[in-house]
C-alpha cells in the first residue's frame, strides 16, 4: 500500500522519494501544519482585521487574502469547504492510503469530494502535478471505500485563499498510474532529473546536483 505522500514525491522526482524514505522523521514541519490549518478557519479569516491576519502564516497581504477568500465565498463549493462531512479523514483504497484534509458532501449527483491542502503557492492555473496525483489518489481511495465513482477532487492553497477543482481526466489518471509504478519501483537511488525541479528540492545538497553543475561549468 503506497502512501499518498510517496506518490506525490514520486511524481515530482523518484530520487526525492528515495531520500524521503530514508528520513528518520517524516513528520511535517510545524510551519507546514500551521499553513494547512488555515483551511479550517476561513469564516474567521474572511472578515478579520489586518492585525489578526498578519499573525497568521499567510502567503499574501491581508487585503489580498481577504479578497481571495471573498471570491472563494462566492463559489458553490465554499459552504462545503467550511463545513466538510469529514476532516483529516484517513482514506484507504486498493493501492494507496493517506489523509484527505477534508471530505465534502455532494455538490450534485457526483457524490463526495476529497480535498487535499497544500501549504504552498498555486500555479497560474490548475494545480501542480504532484498535487494532482495526490488528489487523484485520494479520489480513488474514497471511491474504493464508498464503492462508487468519485470524478473530482479539490486542491486548496489555504495560505493564499485559493481552491482548484481537479477532474479525474484520462490524462490525470495515467499520470497517477505512472507515479504509482515509479513509487513501487524505487529500491536503489533512481537517476537524477537534473532540471528546474532541483532548484526547489530540499535534497539538492545531498543529491549533489549543484556540485555536478559547477563541475560541468568548470569543464
Ligand atoms: S535534487 Fe533534483 S534529482 Fe535530486 S532528488 Fe531533488 S529533484 Fe531529484
| pLDDT at residue 140, rounded to an integer | 97
Residue 210 pLDDT grade (very low, low, confident, very high; cuts 50, 70, 90):
low
The whole-number average pLDDT for the span 6-32 is 92
Mind listing the domains of the chain with CATH numbers? 2-188 (3.90.320), 194-219 (no CATH)
Predicted confidence band at 106 (pLDDT cuts at 50, 70, 90)? confident
Helices (H) and strands (E) in the chain, counts: 11, 6
| Atom of ligand 1 at shortest range from CA of 19 | 5
Smallest CA separation from ligand 1 atom 4, residue: 207
Q: What 8-state DSSP symbol labels residue 190?
A: P
Give the position, in ligand 1's atom list, of the atom nearest the Cα of 12: 7
Q: Which residue is listed with cell 486548496?
A: 156
Instruction: Report the pLDDT averaged over residues 8-25.
Output: 93
Mean pLDDT (whole number) for 159-176: 98
Closest C-alpha residue for ligand 1 atom 5: 16
* 111 pLDDT tier (thresholds 50, 70, 90): confident
Task: Name the residue among 136, 171, 156 with its Cα closest to residue 45.
Answer: 156
Q: Pocket of ligand 1, candidates 183, 198, 200: which has the most ligand atoms within 8 Å of its Cβ, to mutate? A: 198
Give Cβ neighbours of residue 145 (< 8 Å, ≥ 6 apart). 91, 92, 93
Statement: residue 147 has pLDDT above 50: yes
Instruction: Tell me the per-residue pLDDT of 42-99, one tens digit each, with 9 for 90 and over.
Output: 999 999 999 999 999 999 999 999 999 999 999 999 999 999 999 999 999 999 999 9
The closest-lying atom of ligand 1 relative to the alpha carbon of residue 14 is 8
Amino acid at each position: 500500500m503506497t502512501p499518498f505522500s510517496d506518490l506525490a514525491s514520486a511524481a515530482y522526482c523518484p530520487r526525492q522519494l528515495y531520500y524521503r524514505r530514508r528520513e528518520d522523521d517524516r513528520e511535517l514541519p510545524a510551519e507546514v501544519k500551521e499553513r494547512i490549518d488555515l483551511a479550517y478557519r476561513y469564516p474567521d479569516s474572511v472578515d478579520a482585521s489586518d492585525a489578526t491576519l498578519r499573525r497568521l502564516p499567510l502567503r499574501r497581504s491581508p487585503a489580498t487574502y481577504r479578497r481571495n477568500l471573498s471570491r472563494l465565498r462566492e463559489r458553490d463549493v465554499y459552504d462545503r469547504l467550511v463545513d466538510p462531512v469529514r476532516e483529516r479523514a484517513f482514506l484507504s483504497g486498493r493501492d494507496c492510503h493517506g489523509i484527505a484534509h477534508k471530505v465534502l458532501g455532494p455538490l450534485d449527483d457526483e457524490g463526495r469530494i476529497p480535498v487535499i491542502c497544500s501549504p504552498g503557492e498555486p500555479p497560474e492555473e490548475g494545480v501542480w502535478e504532484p498535487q494532482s496525483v495526490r488528489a487523484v489518489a485520494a479520489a480513488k481511495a474514497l471511491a474504493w471505500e464508498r464503492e462508487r465513482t468519485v470524478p473530482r477532487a479539490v486542491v486548496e492553497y489555504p495560505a493564499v485563499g485559493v481552491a482548484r477543482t481537479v477532474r479525474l481526466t484520462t490524462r490525470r489518471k495515467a499520470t497517477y498510474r505512472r507515479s504509482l509504478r515509479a513509487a513501487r519501483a524505487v529500491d536503489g537511488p533512481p537517476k537524477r532529473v537534473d532540471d528546474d525541479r532541483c532548484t526547489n528540492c530540499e535534497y539538492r545538497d545531498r543529491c549533489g546536483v549543484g556540485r555536478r553543475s559547477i563541475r560541468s561549468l568548470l569543464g
